[in-house]
A and B are shown apart, each in its own frame.
Chain A
Amino acid sequence: MNALWRVRGLRDLLVVIVLVFGVGSIAMLLAHVSPIDGFSALFDGAFGTWEEIAETLVQTTNLLFPALGIAVAFRAGMFNIGAEGQLILGGFAAGWLGAQVPAPAWIAIPMVLIAGALAGGVWGAIPGFLRARFGANEVIATLMLNVIAVLLATYLVTGPLIQAGGGAQETALLPKAAQLGDLVPDSRLTWAFPLALVLAFALRWVLQRTVFGYELRAAGEAPEAAKRAGIDLGRTALVAMAISGALAGLGGATIVTGVLHRFNVGLSPGYGFIGIAVALVGNLDPLWICVAALGFGILQSGGIAMQAEAEVPKQVVSLVTGLVIIALAGRRVVASRRTT
Chain B
Amino acid sequence: MNGWIGALLALAALTLIKATPLIYAALGGVLSERSGVVNIGLEGILIAGAFTAVIVSGATGSPVLGALAGVVAGALLAALLAYAATRLAVDQIVAGTGLNIAALAAAAFGLVLVYHQPGASHEVPALGQTGEDALIVLALVAAVGLHLALTRTPWGLRVRACGEDPSAAESAGIDALRTRFLAVVIGGAIAALGGVFLSLGELDLYSDGMTAGRGFIALAAVIFGRWTPLGATGAAIFFGFFAALQFSLQRAGVPSEVMQALPYVAALVALAGFAGRVRAPASDGVPYIRP
Contacts and interface: CB of A to CB of B under 8 A. Distances in A.
Contacts of B40: 139, 143
Interface string A112-133: 0000000000000000001001
Contact of B97 (A276, A317, A318): A276
A330 B92 CA distance: 9
A273 interface: yes
B101 A270 contact: yes
B280 A273 contact: no
B61 interface: no
A103 B112 CA distance: 48
Nearest to B93: A139
A339 B286 contact: yes
B255 A337 contact: no
A327 B101 CA distance: 13
A79 B286 CA distance: 13
Given A30-B113, A130-B271, A144-B267, A325 B260 contact: no
A266 to B, nearest CB: 12
A321 B99 CA distance: 10
Nearest to A276: B97
A40 to B, nearest CB: 20
Given A323-B102, A326-B84, A328-B94, A139 B261 contact: no
Contact of A329 (B91, B103, B220): B91
Nearest to A336: B91
Contacts of A27: 109
A184 interface: no
A330 B97 contact: no
B136 to A, nearest CB: 25
A147 interface: yes
Nearest to A30: B113
A201 interface: no
Interface residues of A, number: 50
A137 B286 CA distance: 13
B211 to A, nearest CB: 13
B118 A155 contact: no
Interface residues of B, number: 48
A137 B280 contact: yes
Interface string B82-99: 001000111111110111
B145 interface: no
Contacts of A319: 101-102, 105-106, 109
B227 to A, nearest CB: 12
B112 A313 contact: yes
Interface string A12-27: 0000000000000001
Contacts, number: 147
A152 interface: yes
A252 to B, nearest CB: 19
A35 to B, nearest CB: 15
A322 B96 CA distance: 9
B216 interface: yes
B100 interface: yes
B12 interface: no
B91 A323 contact: no
B77 to A, nearest CB: 11
B31 to A, nearest CB: 17
A151 B260 contact: yes
Contacts of A331: 91, 94
Interface in A259-276: 270, 273, 276
A226 B61 CA distance: 61
B89 A335 contact: yes
Contacts of B137: none
Contacts of A316: 105, 109
Nearest to B104: A318
A334 B94 contact: yes
A130 B272 contact: yes
A318 B260 CA distance: 26
A257 to B, nearest CB: 25
B282 to A, nearest CB: 9
Interface in B258-274: 258, 260-261, 264-265, 267-268, 271-273
B68 interface: no
Contacts of B255: 155, 159
Interface in B219-240: 219-220, 223
Which of B94, B97, B258: most chain A Cβ within 10 A? B94
Contact of A31 (B80, B97, B102, B113): B113
14 contacts: A136-B273, A139-B93, A143-B40, A144-B220, A145-B264, A147-B264, A154-B257, A313-B109, A313-B118, A318-B104, A319-B101, A321-B98, A322-B104, A329-B91
Given A147-B213, A326-B98, A339-B286, 13 more contacts: A143-B219, A144-B268, A147-B216, A148-B265, A276-B94, A315-B108, A319-B102, A325-B102, A326-B95, A326-B102, A329-B98, A330-B84, A334-B91
Interface of B: 38, 40, 80, 84, 88-95, 97-106, 108-109, 112-113, 118, 213, 216, 219-220, 223, 255, 257-258, 260-261, 264-265, 267-268, 271-273, 280, 285-287
